[in-house]
Amino acid sequence: MQRITILGATGSIGVSTLDVLARHPEKYQVYALSAHAKVEELAEQCAQFRPARAVVGSAAAAARLSTLLRERGLAIQVEHGEAALCSIASSADVDTVMAAIVGAAGLAPTLAAARAGKKILLANKEALVMSGQLFMDAVHEHGATLLPIDSEHNAIFQSLPHSYARKPAAAGVAKILLTASGGPFLNRAVETLEHVTPDEACKHPNWSMGRKISVDSATMMNKGLEVIEAHWLFGAPASLIEVVIHPQSVIHSMVSYVDGSVIAELGNPDMRTPIANALAFPERIESGVAQLDLTSIGTLQFHKPDFARFPCLALAFESLDAGGTAPALLNAANEVAVQAFLERRIGFRDIDRVIARVMHENEHHAATSIGAVMDCDARARAAAHAIVAGLAR
């Protein structure tokens, strides 16, 4: 019986994880759930899965959740704040942690899980984008197990040999091919992107996701962050990572080998597949996802990405080449810019402009500690807020 903590239980990944867990009550038990502010949704999840602990973002949210749980007759320990998140991620009562908090807020509890030697199902790509080597060092030093949940990285994981040890040359890997749908604006005239609305940006053609990650998909920053994540997960330099646009989202990613073989993972676009794969690894369990019918697809298309259409992807490669805390600058600026766009304070194409200015107008340094990374994150956010304020006037 695996005991699970889900960080970010009310988000799309958290909801999908609970759907898979509910199909296998004999294998999995929920120990703790967290949400930032969706108290009512979290209360419903607590009523169904009966965790021992529940964590929210603020004292006010905790008070509200406590009331809702008492009304349901549930004796669940309610806590709030970052320290509580770290506690439910590192508790001795936990075997597996689903790290699904979006953005930099997920770094501290995910790192706590690594330092506690947990099995980590990583859906929070920012942990690796921001802290890279520091995070991987913690995983190795404390004997944690790290399994990727992003559909692309999980596909790469499945396409590599089980003995893979982050050494591409030793495994005969020639190239890691990250597929990308291209998002909702793949074929839209570039000059019209200045007028994109938040609702348009959030209408992904294939995947059902939260609003922030949907905007990241529309700008292809999501793919850029995945390039950085792939670098750390698989020990591959940027020169061995290629982004391929594949609008059908059937092939989730591929690995090309020196003998000419290309191994791919295919499936319907449903996050329950990589979640089930990581939960049960090295076994397989039913996920609730329909079997892929290749005969109904007909055609699979592949294109090179256009950096003029997707400048955020180019900025991500630039930050990876720069190294150190440069990816932290990129990530922080993107989070601020995307939020400002969703609040209609800046335009869609202002997102990449804000990120570029933050990256080019602020120094980056060696990522020698988590404190140094977080200092860089705070500095980048302040710079991004100032740029947004100027654009919004």
- 326-358 in b/e form (b: 16+ CB < 10 A) is bbbbbbbbbbbbbbbbbeeebbbbbbbebbbbb
Annotated binding-site residue? 10 = yes
Annotated binding-site residue? 124 = yes
Q: Spell out the domain ranges in the chain.
A: 2-148, 156-269+291-296, 323-392
State the pLDDT at residue 208: 63
Annotated binding-site residue? 150 = yes
| Sequence-separated (6 or more) residues with CB below 8 Å from residue 272 | 16, 19, 20, 287, 288, 289
Annotated binding-site residue? 229 = no
Annotated binding-site residue? 251 = no
Annotated binding-site residue? 253 = no
Rounded Cα distance, 69 and 76, in Å: 7
Annotated binding-site residue? 256 = no
- Which residues, given as ranges, of the chain have pLDDT below 50? none
Q: Which of 291, 13, 30 is nearest to 125 (CA)?
A: 13
Annotated binding-site residue? 204 = yes
- 193-227 in b/e form (b: 16+ CB < 10 A) is beebebeebbebebbebeebbbbbbbbbbbbbbbb
Annotated binding-site residue? 90 = no
Beta strands in the chain (DSSP E): 2-7, 28-34, 53-56, 77-80, 96-99, 119-122, 145-148, 173-180, 241-245, 251-257, 262-266
Instruction: Tell me if domain 2-148 and domain 323-392 are identical in fold.
Output: no
Annotated binding-site residue? 210 = yes
State the pLDDT at residue 220: 94
Annotated binding-site residue? 224 = no
Annotated binding-site residue? 13 = yes
C-beta separation of 61 from 80 below 8 A: yes
Average pLDDT of the residues of the chain:
94
State the pLDDT at residue 190: 87
State the pLDDT at residue 283: 95
State the pLDDT at residue 184: 85
Annotated binding-site residue? 125 = yes
Domain 2-148 sits in CATH at 3.40.50.720
Domain 323-392 sits in CATH at 1.10.1740.10
State the pLDDT at residue 393: 62
